[in-house]
Amino acid sequence: MKIRHYSLEQFLELVKEFHGYEAPGVVIGGFMVDLAYGHLPEGGLFDAVSETPKCLPDAIQLLTPCTLGNGWLTVVNVGRYALTLYDKKSGEGVRVFVDTDKLEPWPELKTWFFKLKPKNEQDSDRLAREIREAGVEILGVQNVKMPHRFLEHRKRGSMAVCPECHEGYPLDDGPRCLSCSGKENIYTTRNK
């Protein structure tokens, strides 16, 4: 059993190292990414969308060239456990999702996915076993075409020095940066 270029055990090690623990969602995410690549032409350059910020983005960041910081991974939080890999230019791609109809044979997985029991009442060993045994069997695949806004590569405009905090910020944001203008105030105390 391979997850991209890794054995399952190698991938689980990577997950622990990067994500902090062997999270069920990241392991399932590994099967999802692998399945998506299996439906895409070899050697293509694909951007990624995750439909949830939870767990799945880390499987994508570990197994594709797409990261949050390089801009090739976008999170569109619609709360679904699904990802899409799509051609950067054409927008054509493949979406992989958890098919809820296919969860029936895996009671612990279903319990985890729908949160039918509190975490401390779930059987984590059984869950891990079911995830490995189920593999891609709980997944569905769709062909999708991404809307234009996912293909545009917006150039950042000019940078300026904010007159208040004296830091660099995108001039498009207005006469002050979004923090100093109060539109996104995140700090309660500051001593510069």
Closer residue to its own copies, CB minimum distance, 8 or 178:
178
CB-based contacts of 108, cutoff 8 Å, min separation 6 = 122, 123, 126, 127, 130
- Tokens, residue 66: 């797409």
CB of 9 to its own copies, least distance (A): 20
100 versus 124: smaller Cβ distance to its own copies: 100
Q: How far is the CB of 108 from its own copies (least distance, A)?
A: 15
Give, to the nearest 10 degrees, the angle between helix 8-19 and helix 56-63.
120
Residue 61 CB, shortest distance to its own copies, in Å, is: 7
Buried b (16+ CB within 10 A) or exposed e, 169-185: beeebeebbebbeeeee
Q: Which is nearer to its own copies, 29 or 37 (CB)?
A: 29
**Closer residue to its own copies in complex, CB, 2/166:** 166
In whole angstroms, the minimum distance from the beta carbon of 128 to its own copies comes to 17
Q: Token pair for residue 144?
A: 């999708």
Q: Which is nearer to its own copies, 19 or 106 (by Cβ)?
A: 19
Least distance CB 50 / its own copies (angstroms): 8
Closest approach of its own copies to the CB of residue 186, in Å: 5
The pair of structure tokens assigned to 41 is: 């032409």
Taking the least distance from each CB to its own copies, the nearer of 1 and 161 is 161
Q: How far apart are CA 40 and CA 46, in angstroms?
A: 9
Nearest to 83 by CA among 74, 92, 91: 74
Residue whose C-alpha is closest to residue 62's, from 2, 95, 14, 94? 14
What are the residues whose beta carbons fall under 8 Å from the beta carbon of 79, sequence distance 6 or more? 51, 52
The one-letter code for the residue type at 157 is G
